[in-house]
């Protein structure tokens, strides 16, 4: 992509659903995303820029309707922003590299962090873990 801040470039790179979620802070319907019941071993990356965000080792079934993780692979890869939209107080999470909207983080997750990163499947790509001998 020539200029990651250029809206025309984003529209050309992303599907309409990816654009709506990553660039316009949309949300996919609960229980509809391709990674909600996904159990392969590997790495979840930002669908906008490919940055590594979450490992399958931190994924768990939260019952929320979206893929949930109790920790990020690298906390610096995720930017947190206070979100007061829709009459709620939440913490939005964005990819620190491309500023794509991922979802929200909540303080109701399991040990060891107590966090629930609630992420839109459309905002993610997945890379299968390489087999070691």
The residues annotated as belonging to the active site are 118
Query: Residue 81: helix, strand or coil by DSSP?
Result: strand
Cα distance between residue 123 and residue 15, in whole Å: 11
Spatial CB neighbours of 41, under 8 Å, sequence gap ≥ 6: 56, 57, 128, 129
Tell me which residue of 61, 6, 9, 70 sits closest to 38, measured CA to CA. Answer: 61
Cα distance between residue 24 and residue 27, in whole Å: 9
């Amino acid at each position: 992509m020539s200029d990651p801040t250029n809206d025309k470039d984003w529209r050309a790179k992303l599907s309409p659903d990816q654009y709506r979620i990553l660039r316009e802070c949309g949300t996919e319907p609960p229980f509809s995303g391709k990674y909600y019941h996904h159990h392969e071993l590997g790495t979840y990356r930002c669908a906008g820029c490919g940055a590594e965000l979450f490992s399958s080792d931190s994924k768990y079934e939260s019952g929320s309707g979206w893929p949930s993780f109790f920790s990020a692979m690298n906390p610096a890869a995720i930017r947190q922003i206070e979100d007061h939209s829709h009459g709620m107080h939440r913490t939005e999470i964005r990819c620190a590299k491309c500023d794509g909207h991922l979802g929200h983080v909540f303080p109701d997750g399991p040990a060891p962090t107590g966090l629930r990163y609630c992420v839109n499947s459309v905002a993610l790509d997945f890379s299968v873990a390489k087999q070691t001998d």
